Amino acid sequence: MTREITYSEAILEATTQLMEGHPEVYLIGEGVDDFNGLWGSTKGLYEKFGDQRVLDIPISENALTGIAAGSALVGFRPIFTHQRIDFMLMCMDALFNNIAKWQAMTGYKQNMPFTARGIVGRGWGQSVQHAQSFYPVFAHFPGVKVVAPYSPYEAKGLLTAAVLAEEPVIVIEARSLYSKKGCVPEDFYTLDFGKGEILRDGSDVTIAGLSYILEDLLSASDLLKDKGISAEVINLRSIKPFDMDILIESVSKTGNLVIADITWDCFNLASELSCRVNEQLFTEIKRPPLRLTLPEMYVGASRESEENYYMSAESIAKKIFCWLDQPMQKRQALQ
């Protein structure tokens, strides 16, 4: 592949191809018909498909989520787009008391093809209510898939797969990645849920992450290389289902696991995967897994607050280097 487009252009291309090829697909959300098109991800769709398939909505997320769910039950495939993932809390009742449970309540005789796009707005000035990442809440509920594309290639393939799925899928996008460029096929394609990707091979430590933190992980691996440490970097890509096989295979080789997460320290993917790796490789890993997460506090609006709040490649590399410098654990098999 040689054609490069941005992350937001990949989302736009996926949506356009879906709407062209599937008349039952429509876009709904606050500001989806705006001239700038949610930072380019919906730009021009209103002009192309009209107000019957690109629906701007009032600020009533829960009610409109219920309406979109009803449309899914009669043959439509809504893409409900939220400018800020923070506001998805407003539609939790419709999402998780109805949409997530619908297939189970009907004995799996009726499907619920519902896609929600939630945008994580990390960046200067986003502050307390516009920069949070709530994916652990969403992933907790059975009946819902949750993915977090990192590259433009994934942004197109996972969104396409989400809209064509027969169950609800939440696609978490980082607005800080919208300008990221990458190779993306012009053809219509999908990517499988629950499949991670090795971004960089290594032999000393496995470093796994998702979404925007992967930019820092790749840079951190370069800094570690300067210290003689070979890091294998894994893009988890899919939160639920997650790819346990790729982690087990990598950690079996390196003996060390670091998981960097994009949310607070408690009750997150880093905790879940660390626990599972411990359960399966307890006698093989050299150290207890290292979890790198956000502080248990809210980020401020100033640049200085953000610089101190979020992880950087330098802070990640320093923590991993100090952690690896500790003596290895000697473990005995459980009796």
Catalytic site residues?
A: 61, 130
Using CA atoms, how far apart are residues 135 and 130, in angstroms rounded to an integer?
A: 14
In whole angstroms, what is the distance from residue 24 CA to residue 80 CA? Answer: 14
Which of 96, 149, 153, 313 is closest to 222 using CA atoms? 313
What SS3 state is found at 181? Answer: strand
Closest CA to 133 of 119, 144, 143: 119
**CA dihedral (77, 3, 147, 192) positive or negative:** positive
- Tell me the three state secondary structure of residue 97: helix
CB distance 270 to 261 below 8 Å: yes
- Containing 227, the helix (H) or strand (E) segment is none
Nearest residue to 210 (alpha-carbon basis) of 236, 233, 230: 236
Long-range pairs for 19-24 at CB < 8 Å and ≥24 separation?
Answer: 19/45, 19/48, 19/49, 19/53, 21/188, 22/77, 22/163, 22/164, 24/75, 24/76, 24/77
* Contact criterion met (CB below 8 Å) for 205 and 177: no
C-alpha 113/C-alpha 126 separation (Å) is 31
Number of H helices, E strands in the chain: 13, 14
Position of tokens 């990517």? 191
d(CA 281, CA 248): 8
- 252 in Cβ contact with 203 (< 8 Å): no
Cis bond leading into 152, ω under 30°?
no
What are the two backbone dihedrals, phi and then psi, of residue 294, each rounded to the nearest 5 degrees? -80, 150
